[in-house]
Amino acid sequence: MTVLQKKTGINRLLFAFKHSKNGLMSALQYEAAFRQELVCFIMLTVLSFWLPITSVEQILMLASLILVLIVELLNSAIESLADRISMQWHPLIERAKDYGSLAVLLALLIAVAIWLVILLSKFTF
């Protein structure tokens, strides 16, 4: 029996970076929702540099957008695993996919709420 030797030190970091890069490339290739959210993230990030907001507000706004990307990736991971297990309909697989979708919606609502609260406080009289 072979014992799995885990990478340590700089090798672990290099392999982690390689897998992260592979994940990004895969998400860009296969996940339309991720691509759409990434485009929104880029556009809103650029916009945030021209808004009359504090650094803390900008970090909070950008962190909320990153949260959406993270949750979308986790949702895509759940869907990929579910599809690997079975392409046939099953109530538990449907429930897992629905939970992932709900998590994305909640992350989007958090981002919208943060952006609205900050922007409305700056632009309303």
Between 125 and 114, where is the model more confident? Answer: 114
The pLDDT of residue 3 is above 90: no
**Residue 76 in domain:** yes
Predicted pLDDT of residue 5 = 79
**Residue 22 in domain:** no
What percent of the chain stands above pLDDT 70? 98
Could you tell me if 64 and 114 are in contact, meaning their C-beta atoms sit under 8 angstroms apart? yes
Q: At what angle do helices 32-48 and 9-30 cross, to 10 degrees?
A: 110
pTM summary value: 0.90
**Cα distance between residue 98 and residue 115, in whole Å:** 26
**Residue 50 in domain:** yes
Predicted pLDDT of residue 124 = 84
Predicted pLDDT of residue 125 = 63
How does pLDDT run across 53-112, given as a tens digit for each residue? 999 999 999 999 999 999 999 999 999 999 999 999 999 999 999 999 999 999 999 999
CATH number at residue 103: 1.10.287.3610
**Residue 27 in domain:** no
Predicted pLDDT of residue 7 = 83
The domain in which residue 40 lies consists of: 32-123
The pLDDT of residue 1 is above 70: no
Which active-site residues does the annotation give?
Answer: 72
